[in-house]
């Protein structure tokens, strides 16, 4: 990756007419591959003014934009990026990329039951999923969308989120100022044509003021007004907007309390544990599908992770406040296999440090490592990491 490419160079390129990664690379004089990696990193950085959108007009493809510095009160005459000619199939998660969801407490079956009966009951499909990081909240939403062939639109909540961003904002696109619809506007438009799943991710991280924009969209009205565009009314079909609001719970997370009105609009609620706490065999099976490790051996890692998870819920052990996320257990198994194949000694223990302790824990790393080591020693056997020559 070129260390000389600066965000200011990219801004200049966009303001002078560049739109795609190839056009930007040509203007700044860098290779398309290196430019693409840098652009991707900047788009994911909330502190950098750079966005990326799929342009559904003019042949499609991603275009890069710069949020306008100043608020534009009169955006009624601004052209809309892609002219709202959305290809909703592009928003449907690919079933090959979404893992099969393992239920902890029949929550998926219950959600599907509500969806199937909503025509008779009139119940709006609004769902809340809470639980610790890595317990599968987002995976549930992705799997549900992929399973139903529904477009999935994500509203990523954070403390800096402004309600206006949910509806849309003026952006500099290829030197021109255009209107780019926000995720809530797109979700309402999609619901006119088909089911759409709206993931409101980490809803408790947004302020009540910013979430106020959601209210008229989530109740029976299913509509919003875009003030900068002359109070343009965007309405959808309430029963075809499936919303899944996720929230992390626990003392490690700084969150905003939901008031009664928010709770009511966000709908039914399920509180999920880590899969391994409720169904250790299921989590072991999941680890086995993602790694070369047999499920019987993966169960050893799950049991060790559960010791830390139980400690995080035990008020008598205040030092450990966070359990081991399921993705960290999968990474632990993958890393242990890689270390064993390389011939490194104590591959399980070393992988535990690299994949679990150091990425997830900080001040209590020693306490967590000690608990996992003790659990591994108490296990009936050590995990079989692969072929005989690798294990040896």
- Is residue 2's pLDDT more than 60? no
pTM: 0.83
In the chain, the percentage of residues whose pLDDT exceeds 90 is: 54
Domain that holds residue 291: 275-391
Question: pLDDT tens across 235-260, in order?
Answer: 999 999 999 999 986 555 556 677 78
User: Of 271, 287, 309, which closes a domain?
Assistant: 271
**Stretch 155-180: mean pLDDT:** 89
Question: pLDDT tens across 33-84, in order?
Answer: 889 989 988 988 878 889 888 877 656 688 999 988 765 668 888 999 989 9
pLDDT of res. 67: 86
pLDDT band at 389 (very low <50, low <70, confident <90, very high): very low
Residues 334 and 261 placed together within one structural domain of the fold: no
* Residue 59 domain-assigned (yes or no): no
The whole-chain average pLDDT of the chain stands at 88
Residues 119 and 162 placed together within one structural domain of the fold: yes
* Tally of domains within the chain: 3
* Residue 53 domain-assigned (yes or no): no
**Stretch 268-293: mean pLDDT:** 90
- Is residue 367's pLDDT more than 60? yes
Instruction: Say which residue, 301 or 258, is predicted with more confidence.
Output: 301
pLDDT of res. 348: 93
- Is residue 145's pLDDT more than 90? yes
**Stretch 137-149: mean pLDDT:** 95
Residues 92 and 35 placed together within one structural domain of the fold: no
Residues 325 and 230 placed together within one structural domain of the fold: no
pLDDT of res. 388: 43
Question: pLDDT tens across 121-137, in order?
Answer: 999 999 999 988 888 89
Residues 347 and 215 placed together within one structural domain of the fold: no
- Is residue 156's pLDDT more than 80? yes
3-state secondary structure the chain: CCCCCCHHHHHHHHHCCCCCHHHHHHHHCCCHHHHHHHHHHHHCCCCCCCEEEECCCCCCCEEEEEECCCCCCCCCCCCEHHHHCCCHHHHCCCCCCCCCCCCCCCHHHHHHHHHHHHHHHCCCCEEEEEECCCCCHHHHHHHHHHHHCCCEEEEECCCCCCHHHHHEEEEEECCEEEEEECHHHHHHHHHCCCCEEEEEECHHHCCHHHHHHHHHHHCCCCEEEEHHHCCEEEECCHHHEEEEEEEECCCCCCCCCCCHHHHHHHCEEEECCCHHHHCHHHHHHHHHHHCCCCHHHHHHHHHHHHHHHHHHHCCCCCCCCCCCCHHHHHHHHHHHHHHHHCCCCCHHHHHHHHHHHHHHCCCCHHHHHHHHHHHHHHCCCCCCCCCHHHHC
Residues 143 and 242 placed together within one structural domain of the fold: yes
Least confident of 39-43, 318-322, 342-346: 318-322
User: Of 217, 242, 271, which closes a domain?
Assistant: 271
Residues 159 and 293 placed together within one structural domain of the fold: no
Residues 348 and 218 placed together within one structural domain of the fold: no
- Is residue 380's pLDDT more than 90? no
pLDDT of res. 133: 82
* Residue 25 domain-assigned (yes or no): yes
CATH number at residue 180: 3.40.50.300
Tokens 């609009």 correspond to 265
Residues 131 and 226 placed together within one structural domain of the fold: yes
* Residue 149 domain-assigned (yes or no): yes
């Amino acid at each position: 990756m070129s260390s000389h490419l600066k965000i200011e160079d990219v801004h200049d390129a966009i303001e002078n007419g560049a739109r795609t990664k190839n056009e930007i690379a040509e203007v700044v004089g860098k290779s398309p591959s290196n430019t693409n990696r840098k652009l991707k990193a900047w788009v994911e950085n909330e502190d950098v003014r750079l966005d990326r959108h799929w342009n559904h007009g003019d042949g499609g493809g991603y275009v890069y934009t710069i949020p306008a510095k100043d608020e534009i009160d009169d955006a009624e005459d601004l052209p809309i990026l892609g002219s709202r000619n959305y290809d909703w199939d592009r928003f449907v998660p690919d079933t090959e990329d979404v893992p099969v969801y393992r239920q902890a407490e029949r929550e998926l079956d219950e959600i599907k039951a509500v969806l199937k009966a909503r025509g008779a009951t009139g119940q709006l499909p609004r769902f809340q999923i809470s639980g610790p990081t890595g317990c599968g909240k987002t995976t549930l939403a992705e799997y549900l969308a992929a399973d139903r062939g529904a477009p999935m639109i994500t509203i990523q909540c954070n403390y800096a989120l402004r309600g206006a961003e949910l509806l849309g904002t003026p952006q500099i696109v290829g030197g021109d100022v255009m209107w780019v619809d926000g995720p809530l506007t797109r979700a309402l438009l999609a619901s006119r044509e088909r089911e759409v799943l709206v993931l409101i991710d980490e809803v408790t991280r947004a302020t009540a003021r910013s979430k106020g924009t959601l209210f008229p969209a989530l109740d029976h009205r299913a509509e919003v007004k875009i003030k900068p565009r002359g109070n343009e009314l965007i309405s959808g079909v309430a029963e075809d907007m499936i919303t899944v609001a996720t929230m992390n719970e626990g003392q490690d997370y700084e969150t905003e309390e939901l008031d009664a009105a928010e709770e009511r609009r966000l709908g039914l609620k399920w509180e999920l544990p880590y899969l391994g706490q409720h169904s250790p065999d299921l989590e072991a099976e999941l680890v086995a599908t993602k790694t070369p490790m047999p499920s019987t051996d993966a169960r050893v890692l799950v049991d060790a992770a559960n010791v830390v998870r139980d400690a995080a819920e035990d008020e008598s052990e205040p030092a450990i406040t966070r359990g081991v996320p399921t993705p960290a257990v999968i990474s632990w198994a993958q890393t242990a296999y890689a270390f064993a194949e390389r011939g490194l000694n104590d591959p399980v223990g070393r992988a535990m440090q690299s994949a679990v302790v150091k990425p997830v824990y900080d001040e209590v790393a020693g306490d967590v490592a000690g608990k996992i080591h003790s659990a591994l020693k108490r296990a009936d056997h050590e995990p079989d990491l692969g072929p005989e020559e690798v294990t040896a």
